């Protein structure tokens, strides 16, 4: 049996390739490869960095799909299915809107793949592939390690992605993570994580990225891992909530374990917005100022993210946010518009209020990357938010701002991260407006998306006839 794994890009302009920038190794296909039986031949193609050989012989195609890549994933699926090759889809979008995804795939995996994918392959081999494979509980991550052999020969950033845990216990209303994992987190045994990092370090990896949605979601287990990382003397970055700064023991362990920086969703300087998004804890215990003081005390660099489009945002919110970030010498900042992802409380609320501008913005040909797909309340509007987000990026990544922030003690405390400060900031300066107006899906795709003919494909037991 031959299996082809595809990682789709967001989209492409007609006659152009995907924008090259921060291409990191995608863990989802590597996890699927690890779960696939040894007697299956696997080929992997990353749509962001290489052409897909649609005419190459294969028996089954598997695509992990997110909302931003949905349109492109359906195009890829259509190209294969026109050639008679069945397609299986899974991932965030497939779990949040399975009925939509099932229109373009013979089978859909709902929930995490562990414990399901093996059944998909077995059923396919025996000609009894089902339309849906559903997992309602959380799997164990014991013994789970991605098969990185599928990355050989491909050029990615020299950054090793490692998963310690999945999910987050917070219930932020815009976040698809909380909808997908039902505000829970599961973790791998720390001994297995340490062993994986030892192997990657021997392979020459210099910087590690914990892809966990929130490294603080299980504080005590995270501390246990960080204690075990100390002897490895590695450098790592990850994603956390502001609550990590409330625990001095945790901060000390972050530093001792080799943490160089964390991404924290600050989201908004407006307390009313924070309450509206169910993230009022960002303002607790001294809020952002106290958190920044604590991060600087322990020499932990910050990648702060902000979103604009909540009802209490005003025109001056953009300028206030940029000034705040420059004043506090933040290492990196993202200024993005609010995006309602299907399956989230935000999406459901905007839908109930009749404020969505598209039936499905991720599939609408009128929608472009950077557009705000809902009616904004107050003095702002969709066009103004898009314009001000770009302007905020350009101001924060201006030459004077980069130079000022480069002299901050935390940002320049070691040469490795100081060098990367310049590289990252100038890269983000270049990308400030690069994706604005970018299409979702390949504009060069010819023909219609091919939908599954359910009456032709399934038998009386709702199984796919392949």
pLDDT tens-place string over residues 287-314: 999 999 999 999 999 999 999 999 999 9
Secondary element (H or E) of residue 228: helix 219-229
> Is pLDDT of 262 > 80?
yes
Phi-psi region of 300 (alpha: psi -120 to 50; beta: other; left: phi over 0): beta
Average pLDDT on 364-371 reads 93
Average pLDDT on 325-346 reads 96
Instruction: Name 175's Cβ contacts closer than 8 Å, sequence gap at least 6.
Output: 168, 344
Amino acid 299: pLDDT:
95
Average pLDDT on 237-256 reads 95
Q: What percent of the chain has pLDDT over 90?
A: 78
0.85 surpassed by pTM:
yes
Amino acid 463: pLDDT:
63
> Is pLDDT of 431 > 90?
no
Average pLDDT on 49-71 reads 96
Task: Calculate the CA 103 to chain-centre distance.
Answer: 24
Please answer whether residues 28 and 89 qualify as being in contact, where contact means their C-beta atoms are separated by less than 8 angstroms: no
> Is pLDDT of 184 > 90?
no
Amino acid 323: pLDDT:
98
> Is pLDDT of 199 > 90?
yes
What domains sit in the chain, N to C, each tagged with a CATH number? 2-139+441-457 (3.40.50.280), 149-430 (3.80.30.20)
Residue by residue, DSSP assigns 171-237 as --TT-HHHHHHTT-EEE--HHHHHHHHHHHHHTT--EEEE--S-TTTTHHHHHHHHHHHGGG--EEE
Residue 279, judged by CB atoms within 10 A of its CB (0-12, 13-18, 19+), counts as: buried
Please answer whether residues 155 and 136 qualify as being in contact, where contact means their C-beta atoms are separated by less than 8 angstroms: no
Amino acid 186: pLDDT:
86
> Is pLDDT of 170 > 90?
no
Amino acid 241: pLDDT:
93
pLDDT tens-place string over residues 18-43: 766 668 999 999 999 999 999 999 99
Please answer whether residues 464 and 130 qualify as being in contact, where contact means their C-beta atoms are separated by less than 8 angstroms: yes
pLDDT tens-place string over residues 83-131: 999 999 999 999 999 999 999 999 999 999 999 999 999 999 999 999 9
> Is pLDDT of 240 > 50?
yes
> Is pLDDT of 171 > 50?
yes
Locus of tokens 């314009």: 387
The per-residue pLDDT of the chain, averaged, comes to: 92
> Is pLDDT of 447 > 60?
yes
What are the CA-CA distances from residue 239 to residues 226, 290, 368, 424 (Å)?
14, 19, 28, 17
Please answer whether residues 46 and 5 qualify as being in contact, where contact means their C-beta atoms are separated by less than 8 angstroms: no
For the chain, first and last CA: distance in Å?
A: 14
Amino acid 449: pLDDT:
92
> Is pLDDT of 187 > 60?
yes
């Amino acid at each position: 049996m031959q299996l082809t794994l595809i990682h789709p890009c967001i989209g492409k302009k007609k006659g152009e390739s995907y924008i090259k920038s921060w291409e990191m190794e995608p863990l989802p296909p590597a996890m699927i490869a690890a779960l696939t039986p040894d007697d299956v031949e696997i080929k992997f193609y990353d749509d962001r960095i290489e052409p897909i050989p649609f005419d190459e012989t294969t028996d089954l195609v598997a695509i992990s799909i997110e909302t931003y890549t949905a349109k492109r994933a359906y195009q890829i699926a259509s190209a294969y299915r026109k050639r008679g090759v069945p397609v299986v889809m899974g991932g965030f979008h497939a779990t949040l809107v399975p009925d939509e995804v099932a229109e373009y795939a013979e089978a859909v995996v709902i929930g995490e793949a562990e414990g399901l994918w093996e059944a998909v392959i077995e059923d396919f081999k025996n000609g009894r592939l089902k339309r849906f494979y559903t997992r309602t509980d959380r799997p164990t991550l014991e013994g789970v390690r991605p098969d990185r052999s599928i990355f050989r020969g491909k050029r990615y950033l020299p950054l090793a992605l490692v998963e310690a845990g999945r999910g987050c216990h917070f219930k932020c209303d815009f976040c698809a993570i909380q909808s997908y994992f039902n505000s829970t987190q599961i973790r791998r045994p720390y001994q297995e994580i340490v062993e994986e990092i030892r192997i990657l370090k021997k392979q020459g990896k210099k910087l590690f990225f914990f892809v966990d949605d929130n490294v603080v979601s299980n504080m005590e287990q995270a501390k246990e891992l960080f204690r075990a990382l100390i002897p490895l003397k590695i450098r790592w970055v990850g994603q956390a909530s502001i609550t990590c700064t409330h625990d001095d023991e945790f901060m000390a362990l972050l530093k001792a374990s080799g943490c160089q920086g964390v991404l924290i969703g600050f989201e908004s300087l407006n307390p009313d917005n924070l309450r509206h998004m169910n993230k009022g804890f960002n303002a607790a215990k001294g809020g952002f100022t106290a958190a920044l003081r604590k991060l600087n005390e322990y020499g932990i660099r910050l990648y702060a993210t902000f979103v604009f489009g909540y009802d209490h945002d005003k025109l001056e919110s953009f300028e206030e946010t940029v000034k705040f970030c420059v004043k506090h010498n933040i290492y990196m900042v993202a200024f993005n518009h609010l995006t309602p992802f299907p399956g989230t409380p935000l999406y459901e609320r905007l839908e109930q209020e009749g404020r969505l501008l598209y039936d499905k913005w991720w599939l609408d040909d009128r929608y472009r990357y950077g557009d705000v797909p809902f009616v904004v309340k107050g003095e702002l509007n969709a066009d103004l938010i898009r314009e001000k987000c770009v302007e905020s990026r350009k101001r924060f990544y201006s030459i004077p701002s980069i130079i000022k922030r480069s002299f901050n003690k935390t940002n320049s405390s070691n040469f490795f991260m100081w060098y990367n400060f310049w590289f990252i900031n100038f890269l983000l300066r270049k990308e400030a407006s690069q994706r604005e107006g970018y299409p979702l899906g390949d504009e060069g795709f010819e023909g219609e998306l091919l939908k599954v003919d359910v009456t032709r494909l399934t038998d009386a037991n709702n199984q796919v006839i392949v």
